[in-house]
Structure 1
Amino acid sequence: MLYGDYLQIDKLLSCQEPVTRMAGNEVHDEHLFIITHQAYELWFKQIIFEIDSVREIMTNRIRDEANLLIVTSRLNRVVLILKLLVDQVTILESMTPLDFMEFRDFLSPASGFQSVQFRLLENKLGVRNDLRTNYGKSNYLKIFEDQEVISIIKQSEDDFSLCDLLQQWLERTPGLEEEDFCFWEKYRGAVSSLLDDKKAEAESQADEAEKALQLSEWKRKQELFESVFDVKKHNALVARGDRRFSHKALQGALMISLYRDEPRFNQPFQILLLLMDIDSLITKWRSNHVEMVLRMIGSSQFGTGGSSGYQYLRSTLSDRYKVFVDLFNLSTFLIPRHAIPPLSTLMKKQLSLRNDGNSSDGHAWSCKTEDEANAAK
């Protein structure tokens, strides 16, 4: 097997056909434009390959916690690829707006919005359909004409996303329902004590202005914590799009964050960090793309595919497109180390050991069964 045959180099290098060359007046920078976007699509393919493998592990084999290391490794690979894609935008920026103008009109109605793989990536991660910005006042599927492509994208909407599977896994976090150690009850007690201390400190202030200020801060924090303790308020925020996780999944993520130093929570905490990195890097990539579009075509021109161009792309930078926004917001609900409820002896023992799905102690950390998962969805 020769290098060129194995990688199908001839086929790969024959995929660059500048439209201006076919028109008889080739524009030099169109070649860079094609190469850059083809490279993006290749890396999108690899990211999807990694995300699909992680989803498969979390669906079928998370019962063996040894697989958490594989999940961590593959998510880290996705993070490294995304860092590369963020930097790749600067290569396109070596093309000036005037250079781009030479061949831009030839591209219509083609648009980066028509990248099937990027839509699949969004859906597989868990971007909610109801939170998307409409593309030219239409659903994002309207841009696609191939029924097979539409079917593939719709299937990705129906499948369990990484966000869905993560929630199912977090809901099984050891310690949430243990009779010996009920994390949520103990956490709520710790928060209540901290808030009581803050209120007492505020009321002890001699200066009335300072007292009012501190009482206002205490009231704000009390309402903030109430939004996470009250299931109805939490679900209302989920329905509004301000939160994504189920109430129990949020509890699991918070417990892992607070007890991250326990051996059994080391890998899970790293997974949560990597998922935040993925969200951050995709947002950074979108931001760099938006700035590049502004630089190339300004803020008032329409995109080649008929969108509002810069204005549409800027709308995708909001938290509505962050899949793991709840993980970022966990910091809001962290409490000082000295206030974290101490683990019971039994819970300390459970979190000091790695479990697998074959253990008979009833504390295996696994995803839901297929029936439970379908019911949840």
Structure 2
Amino acid sequence: MSCVHAGGGDLEDGEVLAAQTGMMYGEYLQLDKVLSAQRLVSAQDNRPVHDEHLFIITHQAYELWFKQIIYELDSVRAKFNSQDLTLDESQSLEILRRMNRIVLILKLLVDQVMILETMTPLDFMDFRNYLSPASGFQSLQFRLLENKLGVRQEHRVKYNQQYSRVFGDDDEAMRAIERSEQEPSLSQLVQQWLERTPGLEVEGFNFWGKYRHAVQQLLREQHETILAETSEAMRRHKLTDLDKKKEVFDSIFDPSVHAALVSRGERRFSHRAMQGAIMITFYRDEPRFSQPHQLLMLLMDIDSLITKWRYNHLIMVQRMIGSAQLGTGGSSGYQYLRSTLSDRYKVFLDLFNLSTFLIPRDFIPPLSRHMKSTLSISQDTGAQNGDDSDPSPDAVSDRSV
């Protein structure tokens, strides 16, 4: 199909488009560079291996998606790290949209492993020797992604801490890694945000005091119920379980115990941030806590999906090279990858463990009239925290403080 050019003569549609826009599809996407970036190393011996092309394409796709995740993550961190310590509703919605985009990309990456699994171990063996010493451990973008999320150096397995050995000759890469370790991570920024959760103030609603009182009453009632048991053996068994439950709750109420758990790597969040996360979880149905609760869910989704990606990668490696061979970059291969599946790599580990501190709905401290009003308004108008004592009937309960 053609059309008549204003100056006379026929031009194809593509030429008209080029004349109108000045840029073609391939030029805009720089496809000449992207599509010519698949260099089969096996071809250097004039024996190109068919599946090496798939291997390259898949890993290049991973790196492109890593780049997009970092792009989204940096923008979210910038919003959290703004001078204005409050996030209005429009900012919160944008953060949720970008975090959800990261989650969807990670889901895609988890499933992408299956495409590599269409390659058999013998197919991989045909070109594996050409890869050494290249290794996934050398993916700078994945290291930056982990650091920006909040994976700390001391939580990594020993082999995974050796950045300088891998990137030591690349000054730019080392500077990027150092910056990512020095800048506030998403985990740090989320904690600072949680620490400002309205209602934690002792002079205001004092959620933590009310919650502690509710837990104490719950444990007392459970203790009385256990004492009514007719079986001595059952009584002892349940009392032992109750003592363990009390010990778990004590670990969250005693700041020194919590700090000790953080120092051992068993917890990540500050004590105040944990308080905010628990409060948001309890009152997630309140309008002002709806978006914060969604964010906490997305943070867990990110951790879960990265763990699933690690697991799928681990299974693929075992399938391709077994459990005994070393990785192409000199790691212990399967054994090293298996070690990265532990909780030490979960950035938002404390959010997964929040269910440990849940109590029945009947024991959740009721919101006072002022606090109910505070959580019912939009975040951009804000509410001033003041004296939250409320003697009104709707705030009185046999379990309120």
Q: Same fold (TM over 0.5)?
A: yes
Structure 1 unmatched runs, 5+: 364-377
Aligned to 2:327, the other structure's residue is in SS state coil
Check conservation: 2:204, 2:385, Cα contact below 8 A.
no
Given candidates 127, 150, 161, the residue that maps to 2:151 is 127
1:37 Cα deviation after fit? 0.0
Q: Which residue of 1 aligns with 2:195?
A: 171
Q: Which has the higher contact order (CA 8 A, sep 6+)?
A: 1
Q: Which residue of 1 aligns with 2:181?
A: 157
Q: Which residue of 2 aligns with 1:30?
A: 52
Deviation per residue, 1:66-87 (Å, 9 max, x gap) = 2111111100000000000000
Aligned to 1:352, the other structure's residue is in SS state coil
CA–CA separation in structure 1 for the residues paired with 2:254 and 2:384:
32
TM-score, normalised relative to structure 1 = 0.94
Q: Which residue of 2 aligns with 1:328?
A: 352
Check conservation: 1:134, 1:140, Cα contact below 8 A.
no
1:359 Cα deviation after fit? 5.1
Residue-pair matches, total: 361
Check conservation: 1:180, 1:346, Cα contact below 8 A.
no
Q: 2:274 aligned with 1:261, yes or no?
A: no
Hey, which bits of structure 1, 4+ residues long, moved more than 4 A? none
1:2 Cα deviation after fit? 1.1
Q: Which residue of 1 aligns with 2:308?
A: 284
Deviation per residue, 1:4-32 (Å, 9 max, x gap) = 11111111101000101123210000000
Within-5 A mapping of 1:140-151: 140-144=163-167, 145-151=169-175
Q: Which residue of 2 aligns with 1:185?
A: 209
Q: 2:29 aligned with 1:7, yes or no?
A: yes
Check conservation: 2:52, 2:127, Cα contact below 8 A.
yes
CA–CA separation in structure 2 for the residues paired with 1:220 and 1:154:
42
| Identical amino acids, percent of aligned pairs | 62
Q: 2:340 aligned with 1:316, yes or no?
A: yes
Check conservation: 2:106, 2:305, Cα contact below 8 A.
yes
Check conservation: 1:62, 1:68, Cα contact below 8 A.
no
1:132 Cα deviation after fit? 0.2
Structure ID, larger Rg: 2
Q: Which residue of 2 aligns with 1:65?
A: 88
1:62 Cα deviation after fit? 5.7
1:355 Cα deviation after fit? 2.7
Within-5 A mapping of 1:1-377: 1-60=23-82, 63-66=86-89, 67-135=91-159, 139-144=162-167, 145-177=169-201, 179-356=203-380, 361=384
Q: Which amino acid aligns with 1:133?
A: V
1:43 Cα deviation after fit? 0.2
Q: Which amino acid aligns with 1:45?
A: K
Check conservation: 2:374, 2:383, Cα contact below 8 A.
no
Check conservation: 1:180, 1:344, Cα contact below 8 A.
no
Structure 2 unmatched runs, 5+: 1-22, 387-401
Q: Which amino acid aligns with 1:131?
A: H
Seen in structure 2, the aligned counterparts of structure 1 residues 360 and 75 have a Cα distance that, compared at 3 Å, is: closer
CA–CA separation in structure 2 for the residues paired with 1:231 and 1:163:
20
Q: Which amino acid aligns with 2:53?
A: H
Aligned to 1:89, the other structure's residue is in SS state helix
TM-score, normalised relative to structure 2 = 0.88
Q: Which amino acid aligns with 1:26?
A: P
CA–CA separation in structure 2 for the residues paired with 1:37 and 1:187:
49
1:361 Cα deviation after fit? 3.1
